[in-house]
Amino acid sequence: MSWIPFALAGAIAQLIDGSLGMGFGLTSSTLLLTLGASAAGASAAVHIAEIGTTLSSGVSHWHRDNVDRRILIYLAVPGGIGAALGATLLASINLENGRIFISTILLLLGFVLLYRNIFKSLQPNLVEISNPRYLTFLGFTGGFVDASGGGGWGPVVTPTLMATTQTEPRKIIGTVSAAEFIVAVCASLAFLANLSRLEINWVAVAGLAAGGMLLAPVAAKLVAWLPKRQLGIIVGITIILINAIRLIGN
């Protein structure tokens, strides 16, 4: 199978992720599951590819001063721990149950993404929350959901920070994108530790990584003016439809 379609998918997914602060894992995992990959295999391929895409994205956002270093530290470390545990859990689930589990997670995250963008104007910022324990819990939860569900770091962490802190949106998106590098590395190491139980499509990994790394600098530059709400709604609806059809077909 050619790597070019995966590169195109990776480029589109990274453009979405870099502008919304979420979407690469959801979009890529949904594609791989549609092409017949196992749940753990899809999540493993996405996270290994994300090592390159998140590094490129993080460096790009850092270069454009889109990263809050304090929040980055509190999110990245627990996020990595949660991702390692989530990857280990997913790798231990049998193939059929794993596909149902990951499709369910992706479906729910699609609804979260859709809801957040439709009702964005109705969500005022809450009192500033800067407690390190809160950020640590958020990072751990986001990392666990991300690895066990094939995606979810952005949909869990980005909107939560938007609603509970006064941090600039561009800083939130850049910080979440940079912290995702640690999440991707930890999840990938956990999946590789269970390699004997997985079937990883390395062509998909190479394609997703190449496409995502190519578009990461562009996405970091466009983050301030892309139509985030409309893009989020379209992506949310697409993810919901694809995963709902898959669950109905099981």
Q: What is the mean pLDDT of the chain?
A: 82
The number of distinct structural domains making up the chain is 1
Stronger pLDDT, 97 or 240, i.e. the higher one: 240
**pLDDT at 125 (0 to 100):** 46
The three-state secondary structure class of 194 is coil
Mean pLDDT of 32-61: 85
Stronger pLDDT, 144 or 112, i.e. the higher one: 144
pLDDT in tens, 100-115: 777 788 788 788 778 8
DSSP letters, 4-69, are HHHHHHHHHHHHHHHHHS--HHHHHHHHHHHTT--HHHHHHHHHHHHHHHHHHHHHHHHHTT---H
pLDDT in tens, 72-91: 999 999 999 999 999 998 88
Question: Range of 107's domain?
Answer: 4-249
**pLDDT at 164 (0 to 100):** 76
Mean pLDDT of 209-226: 78
